Amino acid sequence: MPIKIPGQLPALSVLGNENIFVMSEHRAANQEIRPMQVAILNLMPNKIETEVQILRMLSNTPLQINVEFVRIHKNVSKNTPKEHLDNFYCLFDDIKHKQYDGLIITGAPLALLDYTEVSYWDKICEVFDWADKNVTSTMFSCWAAHAALYHHYGLNRHLRQQKLSGVYQHYPLDNKEELTRGFDESFNVPHSRYGYINQADYQSVDELNVLAQSPDAGVYLVASKNKRQVYLTGHPEYDTSTLHEEYLRDCANNTKKDNNTPLPINYYQDDDVNNNPVGSWRSHGSLLFTNWLNYYVYQITPYQLDADHINSTLIK
């Protein structure tokens, strides 16, 4: 089954050219089915690129998914046309009366700011609290994962002096865990971040399970025991070229004198930036999103989607 998105969204043609099954709103309106309602709160500056990446991850499932894009404020974007935002995005304040089966909150380039220095910190905390009552399961990515862990459990991140960038080998910790069902004994995930939380800090919270980690990149996948929260510290949705584009951007933002931009490791052929990058994570990324939709959303979400029914599905 497809994901349903607005007929004029740029991602529709991009994914269609990749032979990924997407459905316009018009065609979906004629189907008698209870589709999954999934909101994507996109905090990334280049929203169109992130839309394509996440929709690609959501597309490999037998479920029909209605996707709604959300932004947190009306601020002018330097990287996304105003017309695109006006046409395809809702403000959080305009949808917070609704309930959703799933919610994805993306990362944001805010790694070096204290949480209280983020201009929309109070608003994102409101989103976190709203999701607890109105969404069956929420997936937090990268910065959003650390921010939500701080808000919900008081787990504060640490910052590296040098950015963690590259493709790292990871290991699932529980062969019976549904989120990593079908994963190999080791799998790759891209990381691009300064922040980290120690494994012991995660383990100090009874409500959380660490599900996958890397010897070099640390904890990658964490979920609450009731399946309502999933935390990703890496970027399984990234395109093959994304780390390369970030590396070039970081180099351009640093002066030659104090340029400490690390070359993404295990990424370029022969670790040579002049060679093509190698994508080695997409199949496990797609499987993770499919497992989340199936086991953490579809299998436990109520047919009648309202706050009372959502909260009645809490897994103790």
Q: Annotated binding residues for substrate, as ranges?
A: 163, 192, 249
Distances (CA, A) of 180 to 61, 185, 235: 15, 10, 15
Joined together, the tokens standing for residue 215 give: 């010897």
Residues 6+ apart with CB under 8 A from 44: 50, 106, 107, 108, 109
C-alpha to C-alpha distance for 130 and 108, rounded to whole angstroms:
20
3-class DSSP state of 127: helix
- Is 251 catalytic? The answer is no
| 66, 37 Cβ separation under 8 angstroms | yes
The catalytic position among 51, 142, 246, 284 is 142
Joined together, the tokens standing for residue 221 give: 């996948």
The catalytic position among 49, 51, 68, 237 is 237
- Is 235 catalytic? The answer is yes
How far, in whole angstroms, is CA 33 from its chain's centroid?
26
Joined together, the tokens standing for residue 210 give: 């660490």
| 205, 306 Cβ separation under 8 angstroms | no
Q: Among residues 128, 142, 135, 130, which one has the least CA distance to residue 292?
A: 135
C-alpha to C-alpha distance for 71 and 41, rounded to whole angstroms:
6
- Is 125 catalytic? The answer is no
Joined together, the tokens standing for residue 287 give: 């499987």
Annotated binding site: 163, 192, 249
Catalogue the active-site residues.
Answer: 142, 235, 237
